Amino acid sequence: MTESSFETQSRHYTVVARAIEFIRTNARSQPSLAEIAGEVHLSEQRLQRLFSAWAGISPKRFLQYLTKEYAKQALRESSDILGAALQSGLSGPGRLHDLMVSCEAMTPGEIKTLGEGVSVRHGIAATPFGNALLGWTSRGLCYLAFCDGDGTAQQQELCSQWSKAELIPDEAEAISLVRRIFPPQPKPGNLHLLLRGTNFQIKVWEALINIGSSRLISYSQLASMIDSPRAQRAVASAVAANTIGYLIPCHRVIRESGESGNYRWGSDRKMAIQVWESGQCKNAG
């Protein structure tokens, strides 16, 4: 997929995000396709085509993903599938596009030095969910944050995490990384992540990486996966602390009630990613 195609997807995402916001705000009145199309200033036909091109599924199917009833059913299905996978000794039933994500944790000493003597390359690139700032070292990707503005806040966060490192702009490599993370066609890939967190946080993030493709999971299910069933609040805090978006799929964690819950990069984006992933898996099947 070319860079211009990602930019087109990013523009489409802004329409999708506005549609999601409108649907959630007016959920009780069950807005029609015509009403949603009017809100985003498109014809019904154009909205239909855009959704199908962006999400891989129809608007009607898309709307089903935004209901609590659908989410609660997804949680029940996840419970069965994850349970069977774990009982058989497997970490999970597979990842989106067969993308194999391996990771290693920074040592406490490395974290304490704030990246002294390390080169961190970074750049902003278009993704299917808007622009994102990526940061990486020679050991792997260490940062991926979606940007709604010019990326200043994300740049500041990256700098604060690596305040003594040499920060080197590299937009070309950022674009290349995005192409690997969001391939146009399902294909095996390999990415290495460099995790910065406490032992407990890393345990939670590693469990998230092993969740099956597009599989939703509750905080209690995630706590059980790491053998800490009573640590739901601590698990939620670890999920919220994640600064490697999408690849550590904290967007797949929802509340037991079926509510989407909070997300570092916006709850509308969280729901959009869930729907997009489901569409990608459907197309790959």
Write out pLDDT tens, residues 204-235: 999 998 876 668 899 999 999 899 999 999 99
Comparison of pLDDT for 254 and 93, the residue scoring more: 254
What pLDDT, on the 0 to 100 scale, is given for residue 1?
46
User: Tell me, what's the pLDDT at 53?
Assistant: 84
Q: Give the other-Cβ count within 10 Å of 109's Cβ.
A: 7
What per-residue confidence (pLDDT) applies to 265? Answer: 96
Q: What residues contact 6, with CB distance under 8 A and at least 6 apart? A: 125, 126, 127, 128, 175, 178, 179, 182
Return the bridge partners of 122, or none. Answer: 135, 169
H or E stretch covering 53: helix 44-55
Phi and psi at residue 227, to the nearest 5°: 60, 35
Supply the pTM of this predicted model: 0.87
Q: What is the pLDDT of residue 140?
A: 96
Predicted local confidence at residue 261, as pLDDT: 87
Of 1.10.3720.10, 4.10.1240.10, 1.20.1280.50, 1.10.10.10, which CATH number belongs to 69-284? 1.10.10.10
The percent of residues above 90 in pLDDT, for the chain, comes to 51
Question: Nearest 5°: phi and psi at 175?
Answer: -65, -40
96-124 pLDDT per residue, tens: 445 678 899 999 999 999 999 999 999 99
Catalytic residues: 250
Q: What is the mean pLDDT of the chain?
A: 85
- 216 CB-side CA count, 13 A: 28
Reported as a pLDDT band with limits 50, 70 and 90, residue 85 is: very low
The more confident residue out of 183 and 284 is: 183
Most confident range, picked from 82-96, 211-225, 256-270: 256-270
pLDDT tens-digit series, residues 50-79:
888 888 777 777 777 777 777 788 778 776
CA distance 9 to 48: 15
Q: What is the C-alpha to C-alpha distance for residues 278 and 47, in angstroms, rounded to an integer?
A: 19
154-200 pLDDT per residue, tens: 999 999 999 999 999 999 999 999 999 988 766 667 899 999 999 99
Checking if the pLDDT of 92 tops 50, the result is: no
Beta bridge partners of 121: 136, 168
Q: Who has greater pLDDT, 213 or 9?
A: 9
pLDDT of residue 270: 93
Q: How far apart are CA 259 and CA 34, in angstroms?
A: 25
List the domain boundaries for the chain.
3-66, 69-284
| Segment among 19-23, 37-41, 172-176 with least mean pLDDT | 19-23
Position 234: which residue type?
A
Tell me what pLDDT residue 4 has: 58
Rounded alpha-carbon distances, angstroms, from residue 162 to 68, 147, 157, 196, 217 = 39, 19, 9, 11, 32
Separation between Cα atoms, residue 40 and residue 84, nearest integer Å: 43
Query: 81 near 94, Cβ under 8 Å?
Result: no
